[in-house]
Amino acid sequence: MVSAVSVAATLISILSVGGAVGVADVGWGWAVPAMIFAALTVVLAVWASLPREDHLRPGDLDDVDRFFTGQIKRRGRLLRASGLTLCLALLAMPLPFLIAATSSPSAQLSLSVSRWGAALALNAHADHLSGRSIRLDLKLEIDKKEELLARRSEALESTVSLSSSLPLTAVARGSVVVARLYQGGDLVLMRCVHLGGYLLADEPSRDH
């Protein structure tokens, strides 16, 4: 009984943690209830298997009957409690999956800048967007002045991508590429890339 309950409780804990972290991706904290109930299941089952010390009068069958009756009742209550916590662990195991199914992931925005000959390739990508109106702006900032490089607006999209190119001759020292994501007219996310490293790559090396 103890072995079977221990194996079942261990499998429940592993599946719950694995679902929370690997599949559901909602954090291992949602697997804590299943782990607690599984641990209680094992503790109660082990406790039920432990003998209780008592004193018996030799040759007194009534005393022997009292001892075994008490042992059976005590172990029965502990095993019933162990079975109850096992059922609760089974009920709590799908909790990470339910949380993942009822919650939507937050919006994400990425911005990449890569060198392509005498120009820079700019790429912005937004994902996990809601159904509200979406606008993605790609701008170049120089000395607190902004220049719009590209803009894309969508009504009902969950993913938006935006690409542009920028000649190196148009980039001054200290320039910054900024991507801004708006949802429903509100600024949601912003990403920046400083272009100093790309300019330094054009300068000739000097001996010191």
3-state secondary structure of 201: coil
Other CB atoms closer than 10 Å to residue 83's CB: what's the count?
A: 15
Q: What is the per-residue pLDDT for 180?
A: 92
Lowest mean pLDDT among 19-23, 62-66, 117-121, 192-196: 19-23
What are the residues facing 126 on neighbouring strands? 109, 160
Spatial CA neighbour of 100 closest among 15, 12, 25, 31: 25
pLDDT mean over 108-135:
84
How many secondary structure helices (H) and strands (E) does the chain include?
5, 7
Whether the predicted pLDDT of 115 surpasses 90: no
**pLDDT 10s digits, 23-59:** 445 566 777 787 788 888 878 888 877 777 766 677 7
What are the residues facing 120 on neighbouring strands? 115, 166
Q: Residues 94, 96, 100, 106: what is their CA dihedral angle, to the nearest 10 degrees?
A: 180
Whether the predicted pLDDT of 82 surpasses 60: yes
pTM: 0.49
Length of the chain in terms of residues written: 208
Whether the predicted pLDDT of 97 surpasses 60: yes
pLDDT mean over 76-92:
83
Whether the predicted pLDDT of 179 surpasses 90: yes
CA dist 111 and 26 (Å) reads 25
3-class DSSP string for 111-172: EEEEEECCEEEEEEEEECCCCCCEEEEEEEEECCEEEEEEEEEECCCCCEEEEEEEEHHHCC
Quick one: the chain helix, strand, coil %, rounded to 5? 45, 30, 25
What are the residues facing 187 on neighbouring strands? 182
